[in-house]
Amino acid sequence: MERLGVEVVAFDVNETLFSLERLRPAFTEVGLDPGLVPLWFARVLRDGFALTAVGEFAAFADVAAETLRGLDPSGIDDAAVATVLGAFGELEPHPDAEPALVLLRNAGVRVVTLTNGSAELVGRLLVRAGLGRYVERSLSVDSVRRWKPAPQVYLYAAEATGVAPGQVALVAAHAWDCDGARRAGLRTGWVARSERRRPQFFLAPDVEGDELPDVAARLLDAPSEPL
């Protein structure tokens, strides 16, 4: 049976490799209800996608800052915005991230990250978490000035790693990310950790699993045709 032939795995970062849990105490610190983190993150993506849908772009940090200010129009000062955005530099990896990275590297698969955020920030997160040794390169949408799920981003990941789109697998905790990657011609793996349930209006991933090592192992074992 022929395998997928994935040569590069591109991991999404926020919620996929790294937990957003660290944002909760940052919200508390600046007087915001930490229960608002999911609403905030959904609105950041909503607004970033709105710009993408009209062919425009703003940096993640700018969308995050403005959207944060919108959570409490009575006033969120610059210091509070800096505190919350600074917490993105202190995200902790999910415990299943390193085993998945080890599994892929041991199988000779190259690993990169592909984020709607900043490549430089992700590079620092990886080093801080001791994961830098597994990751060849941190790629960001800043290079193409479109957010995922625009096809340009996924094709850029293939181009930057020097392989065909079909030899790159995007692994993400978000069904919209897998959908976009698959439409651009990549292979995809969805980890169920935060969404649990995949909306049926998005294309199914090639493989899925409850934890990242499951997803990684299935990417290596998956037949070249969908089951």
Give the count of residues interacting with a second copy (CB under 8 A).
38
Judged by CB under 8 A, the residue of 21, 28, 50, 107 near a second copy is: 50
Q: Tell me: does residue 39 bind a second copy (CB under 8 A).
A: yes
Judged by CB under 8 A, the residue of 11, 18, 27, 147 near a second copy is: 147
Q: Tell me: does residue 145 bind a second copy (CB under 8 A).
A: no
Q: Which of 113-121, 163-171, 174-182, 217-225 is the region at the interface with a second copy (rule: CB under 8 A)?
A: 174-182
Q: Tell me: does residue 66 bind a second copy (CB under 8 A).
A: yes
Farthest CA pair distance, the chain = 61
The residue among 141, 99, 117, 16 whose CA lies nearest residue 63 is: 117
Q: Tell me: does residue 43 bind a second copy (CB under 8 A).
A: yes
Judged by CB under 8 A, the residue of 38, 89, 95, 223 near a second copy is: 38
Q: Which is nearer to a second copy, 50 or 127 (CB)?
A: 50
Q: Tell me: does residue 82 bind a second copy (CB under 8 A).
A: no
Q: Which of 131-139, 159-167, 173-181, 206-214 is the region at the interface with a second copy (rule: CB under 8 A)?
A: 173-181
| DSSP annotation of 192 | -
Q: Which of 22-30, 69-77, 116-124, 132-140 is the region at the interface with a second copy (rule: CB under 8 A)?
A: 69-77
String of DSSP letters for 55-95: T----HHHHHHHHHHHH-TT---HHHHHHHHHHGGGPPBPT
Q: Tell me: does residue 180 bind a second copy (CB under 8 A).
A: yes
In the three-class reduction of DSSP (H, G, I as helix; E, B as strand; rest coil), residue 169 is classed as: strand
Burial 177-216 (b: 16+ CB within 10 A, else e): bbbbbbebebbbbbbbbeeeebeeebeebbbbbebbbbbb
Q: Which is nearer to a second copy, 80 or 111 (CB)?
A: 80
Q: Scanning residues 182 to 211, which ones bind a second copy (CB under 8 A)? A: 183, 195-197, 199-202
Long-range contacts of residues 21-27, Cβ cutoff 8 Å, at least 24 apart = 21/92, 22/87, 22/90, 22/91, 22/92, 23/84, 23/87, 23/88, 23/91, 25/87, 26/83, 26/84, 26/86, 26/87, 27/84
Residues 222 and 207: their CA atoms lie apart, in Å, by 7
Binding site for a second copy (CB under 8 A): 35, 38-39, 42-43, 45-47, 49-54, 56, 58, 62-63, 66-67, 69-70, 73, 147, 149-151, 176, 179-180, 183, 195-197, 199-202
